[in-house]
Amino acid sequence: QKFGEQRVVMDMPLMSILIKTGLQHGYKLLPVYTFGESETFRTVESFYNQRLKLAANNIPGVFFFGWPACPIFPRPQASLLTYVGRAVQLPRIPNPTPAEVAHWKHVYQTALWATFEEFKGDAGYPEATLVECPVTTPRSKL
């Protein structure tokens, strides 16, 4: 992750499972976004392919540092601000189809983007744009 860039992973396999479970029980989903997470640590962005190869062998390929006095702690200058958007009420569907899951997943993702846009100025990031990150899974795990 680039320092200071607002990023989100929207297409996790787990998200579809959560949406399906929510539909089966008629849950409300709350879109939540935390500003400032990308400023808690600096990460090494180079050697991406080599780090994915390490990850394929269950070796962490993450290199980060935060507070200079103790690099495993987050930077104390970072300010985390969490905002909760408008709830998405899911209908109760005992056996949702993949199309219904996909539809409500899109509704939730739209609500998350709207939450980001609504609160970015209040959080101190008026010019920020939200970057959607792809899920990066090592090929051997697919």
pLDDT at 141: 45
CA gap 127, 63 in Å, rounded: 28
C-beta separation of 30 from 87 below 8 A:
yes
Spell out the per-residue pLDDT of the chain, length 142, in tens: 566 678 787 777 788 999 999 999 999 999 999 999 888 888 877 777 888 788 788 888 777 888 889 988 999 998 999 999 999 999 999 999 999 999 999 999 999 999 999 999 999 999 988 888 766 554 444 4
pLDDT at 20: 96
pLDDT at 135: 63
**Helices and strands: H and E segment counts in the chain:** 3, 8
